[in-house]
Every structure is written in C-alpha cells, then in structure tokens.
Amino acid sequence: MQSGKLWKEYTPYYNDALQEMWEFCCQNPELYDPTLKSVTTWLDDYLKKRLRNFRDAKYRQQRREVSAMRTESGETTDPVATLPAHPDIQPVLDIWEKTLEWVETDPDQELCSACFRKRCQVNCQALILRRFPPETPWPAIAAEFNLTPSEAKDLPKVYNRKCLPLLRKFAISQGYVEEKNRLSRRKSS
Amino acid sequence: MIHKAQTPQEKSIPMPITQEAQQIAIGFANEQPTQQKALQVYLNTLAVCSVNNYLRIMDIPTDLTASDSWNPVVRLASDVADLWVVGMGRLECRPVQANQTRCRGDSNTKKLSAVAIPWTRSLPLIRN
C-alpha cells in the first residue's frame, strides 16, 4: 500500500474494498500463482472485484430508494415524508438518561455501598457521577475528597476494579450488551 | 496517565479507515451528551476499529462486542479504547495526534498490550 502501486480510485467504499482485499489475499496466499501474474496484479484483480461488488450494491440500493414524484397538478409529493418518524434515535438518548437515572437513584444501594477503602463518601455512585461527561479529572476528585497522594494514585484503579463491573452489569440488565463468557469467545466480525 | 509512544511513525503500518468504521464511530459519538466526549469516543472507536481490521487481516480472532469500548454504558462513564483479543486479553488502542509522541492511556487495568494510532484529520489513512 505504501509503494503506491495498488489500484486507486476515489470512491467512498474504496477503503472497505481494500480491507476486504487484504483480508482475503493474506489469508489465502496459496491462491497466488506466480506463473500467471505479478503479486500486484493479483492484489489489484481482487481489489477491483471487491470494488465492483460495492458499486453494484450501491446501485441496487439506489434503485430500491423511492424518490419524490410530481403529481399531475404540478405538486411534488415525497413518499418518505408520509412515513412515521424513525424510532431509532430514541434508544440512543435513552441509554444516557437511563444510566444517569440509575446512578443518581441507585435503587439497589449497590453503587453507594461500593466504597473506596474505608471512605464511604468516596463510593461508586459519587465517582461515576463525576466521571460522566464532562469528565472531572482524577486529581480534582482526589482533592475534593481530601485523599492522600497514595489514595489518589489508587483511585482510578479502584474505579476500574469496583465501578466498571457494576456499569457492565447494568448494561447487561438493560439489554444493551449480551453477557458473555470470555473463555469461549470467537472472532465475531 | 501519559505514556511515551514507542513506535516512530515511519515504522508504523498504514491502515485504511473504512466507511464501516466511520459509521460505527459516528453512531457511538452521537450517543454522547457533550461534544468533547463525542470527539473522544469518535477517535477511540476509529482506533479500535483500525486495530481490529489489522488483526482481521492477520487472521487473529477478536471480539468487539466483548470490549468495554463496545459497551454504551461503560463508554459514558470511562475513557475506554480496548479491543478484546480472543484467548489473549484486552488490547489498548489509543489515538494520538500525528505530531505528538505521547498519548493518553489507561494503566489501571490488566491488559495484553497497547497500540498507539497516530492520525491526522486530513489524511484518509491512519497508522497503527
């Protein structure tokens, strides 16, 4: 790629095609026959094939899309405008609002009982609220709670060890992510 | 925590930023309540996706959905840029400005290793 010898074109999907070409060619080197073509030509051929697929998919998508139509009386009607609003945006806003509400109310007292050492006021609820955007820097949090230098150093570690598991658990309980067993994980994408 | 980037730019591997990665990064950034957090999440996600794409080329199995960077709740409450490498552990993927030699990093969790990803806004490629 750095040599600049590969086929180049300025399409939005070029990098996606390039990625697929590298994945395929690096995982199937036995398909290359040096008696037929140079490595660059072999890579280029596959890259062009992937680009063609992306181009065809784009055209198919465009043909499926409904465009605005002009009626006999000259008015323009857009069939898309008559469809109900897409609900996808709401779950995105919900995640922030629901998480904030859960941390603020702490219904199971799980967050406020997870304390930093023996300092009960420095608990996961207090820490998560301060680490939510706009993120309060760790030294400012340490200063607010009058932590000693060694306590201040430990604070981010304790946050990761105690608070992140509670956040992960909440995400699973809300169905934002699936619970997984890391030992049996396989390549997903 | 600040770490010194170990790899000079000229020795890094250029990786294309795919449309797919950009769409994911924009989607995650749009979930954030502030612009600053949205930029942090956008760059972290591009870094994670680029390292993931490189590992895919190398046929090294990863699991994005097992990474904290893919968890919308953890993303809100922490500056996460990790990638779960199957059977190995958590790989830290941190974006770094092209003209900088240091990047942010989280030294507080047990990790496999860390990758610094220099980027520039104008370049269609990032390097890892």
The DSSP annotation for A13-67 comes to: THHHHHHHHHHHHHH-GGG--TTT--HHHHHHHHHHHHHHHHHHHHHHHHHHSPP
Full-model pTM: 0.81
Q: What is the number of other CB atoms lying within 10 angstroms of the CB of residue A112?
A: 15
Pair of tokens at residue B18? 């795919």
Q: Does B35 touch chain A (CB under 8 A)?
A: no
Contacting A residues, span 35-54, partner chain B, CB-CB under 8 Å: none
Q: How far apart are CA A103 and CA A130, in angstroms?
A: 11
Q: How far apart are CA A11 and CA A160, in angstroms?
A: 42
3-state DSSP assignment of residue B104: strand
pLDDT of residue A31: 95
**Cross-strand bridge partners of residue B62:** B85
Residues sharing a CB contact under 8 Å with residue A28, sequence separation 6 or more, in sequence order? none
Cβ–Cβ of B14/A132 closer than 8 Å? no
- Is the previous residue joined to A139 through a cis bond, with omega within 30 degrees of 0? no
Q: How confident is the model at residue A136 (pLDDT cuts 50, 70, 90)?
A: very high
- From the CA of A74, how many Å to the nearest CA of chain B? 38
Count of A-B CB contacts under 8 Å: 123
Whole-complex ipTM: 0.79
DSSP A161: I
- From the CA of B62, how many Å to the nearest CA of chain A? 5
| pLDDT digits 0-9 by tens, A143-185 | 999 999 999 999 999 999 999 999 999 999 999 988 876 544 4
| pLDDT digits 0-9 by tens, B17-52 | 999 999 999 999 999 999 999 999 999 999 999 999
- Closest partner residue to B72 (CB to CB) among A19, A171, A189 is A171
- From the CA of A15, how many Å to the nearest CA of chain B? 5
Q: How far apart are CA B6 and CA B70, in angstroms?
A: 26
Q: How far apart are CA B49 and CA B79, in angstroms?
A: 16
Q: How far apart are CA B79 and CA B85, in angstroms?
A: 19
- Closest partner residue to B71 (CB to CB) among A26, A168, A182 is A168
3-state DSSP assignment of residue A74: coil
- Closest partner residue to B37 (CB to CB) among A133, A168, A176 is A133
Nearest to A109, CA basis, from A64, A52, A166: A166
pLDDT of residue A145: 95
Q: Does A10 touch chain B (CB under 8 A)?
A: no
Pair of tokens at residue A75? 């008015």
- Closest partner residue to B19 (CB to CB) among A15, A167, A180 is A15
Q: How far apart are CA B30 and CA B39, in angstroms?
A: 10
